[in-house]
Amino acid sequence: MYKLLMIMFLLVLGTAASAQVEDMKAAKKGAFLAAKKMNEALINKDFGVYANFNHPKVIKEAKGGRDGLIFQMQTQIANNENHGNYISAIYPGQPSDIIDTAGEWQCTIPLYMEVKVPNAKVSTQTTLVGISMNKGQDWYFIDVANAGGVDGLKPSFPTLSSKLYAPPAPEAKVTQDPPSNNK
């Protein structure tokens, strides 16, 4: 009887561990797809959708809240475009492993962006921190670029795991346009 109970216990434990792994794989895919959708919203200038992916605390702290964040994005993008600067591509890399901490699922995601500027293209990379407060159903993102890394976010987001890692952003790469043959 004891052996039978042990076998049943091990089977249940194995099934639970397998389900957890599958949940984390699905969560990782969900984080990637959410970051991709956020980036598509930015390219398409759908700032309402873009704002939905910003962490609620970021929206709360933005001047004017959600509407203020949307206005800031519209203004910034329009100003850049008036100076000949356009986001030509933006896409996420693969998320890190999901960390289950403080009732949240967290990960980091590399983010790649290309900006067309007059006579050149600028390629940059940053890292997003992804946070889900409902076990991977919804994801919110915070860019570490202006915070000096994950540690710079901790004063505002004290529940961030110490296991999250964001490498230093590489130097932006500038590629000059080829000379024009139009004379």
Interval 109-153: pLDDT, tens: 999 999 999 999 999 999 999 999 999 999 999 999 888 889 999
pLDDT confidence band for 178 (50 / 70 / 90): confident
The residue-averaged pLDDT of 147-170 equals 91
At 98 the pLDDT is 96
The amino acid present at 141, given as its one-letter code, is F
At 26 the pLDDT is 92
In this prediction the pTM is 0.82
Ordered alpha helix ranges (H), the chain: 2-43, 47-52, 56-61, 65-82, 150-153
Q: What residue ranges define each of the domains in the chain, with the CATH number in brackets?
A: 2-176 (3.10.450.50)
Distances (CA, A) of 103 to 84, 131, 139: 44, 10, 14
The amino acid present at 37, given as its one-letter code, is K
The residue-averaged pLDDT of 41-56 equals 95
At 17 the pLDDT is 34
Residues 107/28, Cβ–Cβ less than 8 Å = yes
